[in-house]
Each structure stands twice: as structure tokens, then as C-alpha cells.
């Protein structure tokens, strides 16, 4: 049984740290998932930058990308994303130039303009919390330039990095990112896994305003979808309560806590208002049996016209997470390779 829309599928991983475990276990689980995802036919394996969150182990994103890329051989590995306001563009150019030198043709650089942290942590990262987001377009252009061939008279260059043409993506959850990605002629990934409200408007802006560039001749859209697949709808919904708890905690100002085990029912855990808001944030999710997941993903692909889907999800049990992605590959991709 294969998906009707045979487009590339990818994985976004935040390296979740679950209750009773450690970041070391989380990182090794991510390596295991990436290796299996490569065998199952997924296109990319992206990691996200977040800071000061006990439940997320991918803060040193470039380091984790190197760890994953070194343990795989064909799957593309990248950032979903690097939060550029936290960094000098030259530093990111050097990091990803190094990664691209070590793993040629396999490294992606997705960029976001949110800090991925609270205000105090942003200050601790030694960046100005007031100017970073406003400077984002200029920082993207500066970073982009470091990957071009060295120009005559250029005083500062990325070594490694210059001339490597590392693919840059614009990530976003708002209309701002759509305008920017279109103006720069870069591929665009929308965070519909937690911000579905502006999805369709953002895609329309990006496609309408897109200007071809040296990197990209036509618009290329990747949409993010929370997916949890299991043998039955009931089993998938049960395991999905871990993610529902995480999003409820986000609303309570406790983002990035250790991922909790699934519970029998969310009744009594969230208030009616928290339920309404959490279900809105997760309204683009696909949760259920193989047939349910196949239908749900194909509906979202058809509705958005996506060129690629990047799937994500917080699952407490590593074996359940592996099985979820195996099911996704079975219903949406070519049969798993031996």
C-alpha cells in the first residue's frame, strides 16, 4: 500500500528527552531513528535549535547534525532550523561549510528568525535580544554570500564554506517568512506542525511573490506535519497524549519540559480553554492507523500542493516512535529497503 502523492517525505527531530532518561539516550535514539529512516526512504533528517529546555537535546544543532550525518550515508541532514539571531552569520557559515566538506552533497541549512529560547537565555547566548529578528534578512544575505565563490578584494571569508553553495532554506510560522523566502528565491518550509493558522496565506504569498534565484528557478514548499502512526487509531491517540501534554505545558509557560508518558485520557489534565487552544495548535496533525495516516497525509498534500512533507512528533517510547515512522514509510513511500 503506497501513498497516492509520491513526493519526498522527511523527518524533523527535536531529540526529545523523556522523563526518567537523559540527553545521551535521546541523542543515541535520534541516531537510531536516522539510520532506520535512511533505510526506509526518507529524504531529509533535520534537527532544531532550542535552548534552556530540559526536554530537548538538540541545542548544539551543528554538532548533532555531524553526529547524525556521520552515522548515515545517503539521507540529507540539516537544520530545521538554526535560529540565526543567536549567531554571527560567519560562525554559521564556518560550521556548515565544515559539515558540507565532511559530508558533501548531504547538508541543508534551514534558518529561522525566532531565538528558540526565553529572553534571559537569549542574552546568555551573547546576542542582542532586541536587534536579532529585525536584522534577520540582512543576516541571511550575509550568510548566503559566505557560501559563494570568494570575490576579488573580499576581506572576510568562510573557511571552509566559500564556494560550497550549501542549500539555504527559510523557515517560518508567519507571513513575514513567506515574503522573505519569495524575495530571496529560496525554498520555504512552513511550521504548520505548531502554527497552522497562517499556513495557506503564507504559501499563497510565497508562490505569488517568488523571484527566481541562482539557487531555485521555481517555488519549492515543504510543510511540517505532526504524525503519529500505530496499529490502530486508538493506540495512536493514546501515544499522542504525550504531545498533547507537551503543548498544554507550552501554553502554561513550561515549554520544553521532559516528555511525559502517555496517559489514559487528557480529561482532567487540561482545562476546556487549554484543550481548545492545544487542539487548534495541533489541528494539522495526523494521528491514527496506517489507513488513517495515509488518508490524512494525502489530504494535506492535496490541500497545500506541497512539494515535500517533513513529519515530526513527540513520542515517549522510542520503539513506538520507530514503528510510527516505519508505518509512514510503508503507506507513503516505496517499500522499505532490506
Q: pLDDT tens across 14-43, in order? A: 999 999 999 999 999 999 999 999 999 999
Nearest Cα to Cα of residue 225 among 301, 160, 165, 156: 301
* Cell numbers for 70: 556521520
Question: Is 1:332 a contact under the CB 8 Å cutoff?
Answer: no
The x, y and z cell numbers of residue 307, run together, are 512539494
Identify the CA nearest to 144 among candidates 187, 173, 103: 187
The predicted pLDDT at position 3 comes to 45
pLDDT at residue 87 is higher than 50: yes
Structural contact between residues 215 and 168, judged by C-beta atoms closer than 8 angstroms: yes
The reported pLDDT for the residue numbered 127 is 62
Domain presence at residue 2: no
pLDDT at 310: 98
Residue 226 phi/psi, 5° resolution? Answer: -70, 125
Secondary-structure breakdown of the chain: helix, strand, coil percentages, each rounded to the nearest 5: 45, 15, 40
For 182, left (φ over 0), alpha (ψ -120 to 50), or beta?
alpha
| pLDDT given at position 139 | 96
Which CATH number goes with the domain that contains 158?
3.20.20.30
Cβ count near 312 (within 10 Å): 22
- Per DSSP, the three-state class of 264 is coil
Domain-located, residue 338: no
For residue 47, pLDDT over 90 is answered with yes
Whole-number pLDDT of residue 336: 42
Q: What is the arithmetic mean of pLDDT over 11-15? A: 97
What does the pLDDT read at residue 116?
A: 56
Whole-number percent of the chain with pLDDT over 90: 90
In a domain, 1, yes or no: no
**215 DSSP 8-state letter:** S
- Flag whether pLDDT at 94 surpasses 70: yes
**Domain presence at residue 56:** yes
Average pLDDT, rounded, for the chain? 93
pLDDT at 338: 33
- Asked whether the predicted pLDDT for residue 2 surpasses 50, the reply is no
Per-residue confidence (pLDDT) for residue 129, from 0 to 100: 57
Residue 134 forms part of a structural domain: yes
Given a cut of 70, whether residue 128 has pLDDT beyond it is no
Comparing 176-185, 199-208, 249-258, 260-269, the range with the smallest average pLDDT is 249-258
Which range marks the domain in which residue 231 is found? 9-332
Position 122 pLDDT exceeds 80:
no
| Number of folded domains that form the chain | 1
For residues 271-278, give the mean pLDDT: 98
pLDDT value at position 16? 96
Asked whether residue 3 is domain-assigned, the answer is: no
Is 97 a residue whose pLDDT tops 80? yes
Q: What's the CA gap between 192 and 224, in Å, rounded?
A: 5
Examine residue 215 and state whether it is found in any structural domain, yes or no.
yes
Query: pTM above the 0.85 mark?
Result: yes
- The residues that bridge with 309 in the sheet, in sequence order, are 9, 223
Burial of residue 37 (CB within 10 Å: 0-12, 13-18, 19+) is buried
Q: What is the pLDDT of residue 29?
A: 98
Identify which has the larger pLDDT, 6 or 1.
6
Confidence of residue 203 (pLDDT cuts 50, 70, 90): very high
The mean pLDDT of 145-164, rounded to a whole number, is 95
pLDDT at 6 over 90: no
Mean pLDDT in residue range 69-94: 96
State the pLDDT confidence band at 120, using cuts at 50, 70 and 90: confident
Q: Decide: 58 and 48 in contact? Cβ < 8 Å.
A: yes
Cα–Cα distance for residue pair 232/220, rounded to 1 Å: 34
Tell me whether residue 175 is in a domain. Answer: yes
DSSP readout, 231-243? SSHHHHHHHHHHH
CA distance 122 to 128: 8
Amino acid at each position: 500500500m503506497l501513498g497516492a502523492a509520491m513526493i519526498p517525505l522527511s523527518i524533523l527531530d527535536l531529540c526529545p528527552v523523556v522523563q526518567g532518561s537523559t540527553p545521551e539516550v535521546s541523542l543515541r535514539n535520534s541516531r537510531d531513528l536516522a539510520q532506520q529512516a535512511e533505510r526506509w526512504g526518507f529524504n531529509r533528517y533535520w534537527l532544531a535549535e532550542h535552548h534552556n529546555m530540559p526536554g530537548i537535546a538538540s541545542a548544539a544543532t551543528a554538532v548533532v547534525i555531524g553526529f547524525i550525518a556521520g552515522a548515515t550515508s545517503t539521507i540529507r541532514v540539516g537544520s530545521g532550523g538554526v535560529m540565526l539571531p543567536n549567531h554571527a552569520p560567519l560562525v554559521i557559515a564556518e560550521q556548515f561549510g565544515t559539515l558540507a566538506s565532511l559530508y558533501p552533497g548531504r547538508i541543508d541549512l534551514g534558518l529561522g528568525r525566532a531565538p528558540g529560547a526565553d529572553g534571559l537565555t537569549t542574552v546568555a547566548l551573547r546576542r542582542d535580544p532586541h536587534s536579532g529578528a529585525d536584522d534577520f534578512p540582512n543576516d541571511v544575505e550575509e550568510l548566503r554570500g559566505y557560501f559563494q565563490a570568494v570575490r576579488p578584494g573580499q576581506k572576510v571569508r568562510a573557511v571552509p564554506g566559500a564556494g560550497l553553495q550549501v542549500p539555504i532554506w527559510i523557515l517560518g510560522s508567519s507571513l513575514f517568512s513567506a515574503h522573505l523566502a519569495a524575495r530571496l528565491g529560496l525554498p520555504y518550509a512552513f511550521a504548520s506542525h505548531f502554527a497552522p493558522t497562517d499556513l495557506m496565506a503564507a504559501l499563497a504569498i510565497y508562490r505569488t511573490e517568488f523571484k527566481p534565484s541562482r539557487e531555485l528557478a521555481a517555488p519549492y514548499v515543504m510543510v511540517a506535519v505532526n504524525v503519529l502512526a500505530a496499529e490502530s487509531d486508538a493506540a495512536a491517540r493514546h501515544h499522542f497524549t504525550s504531545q498533547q501534554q507537551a503543548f498544554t505545558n507550552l501554553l502554561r509557560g513550561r515549554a520544553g519540559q521532559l516528555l511525559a508518558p502517555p496517559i489514559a485520557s487528557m480529561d482532567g489534565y487540561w482545562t476546556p480553554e487549554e484543550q481548545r487552544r492545544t487542539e487548534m495548535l495541533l489541528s494539522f496533525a495526523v494521528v491514527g492507523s496506517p489507513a488513517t495516516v495515509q488518508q490524512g497525509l494525502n489530504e494535506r498534500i492535496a490541500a497545500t500542493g506541497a512539494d515535500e512533507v517533513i513529519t515530526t512528533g513527540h513520542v515517549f517510547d522510542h520503539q513506538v516512535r520507530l514503528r510510527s515512522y516505519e508505518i509512514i514509510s510503508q503507506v507513503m513511500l516505496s517499500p522499505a529497503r532490506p
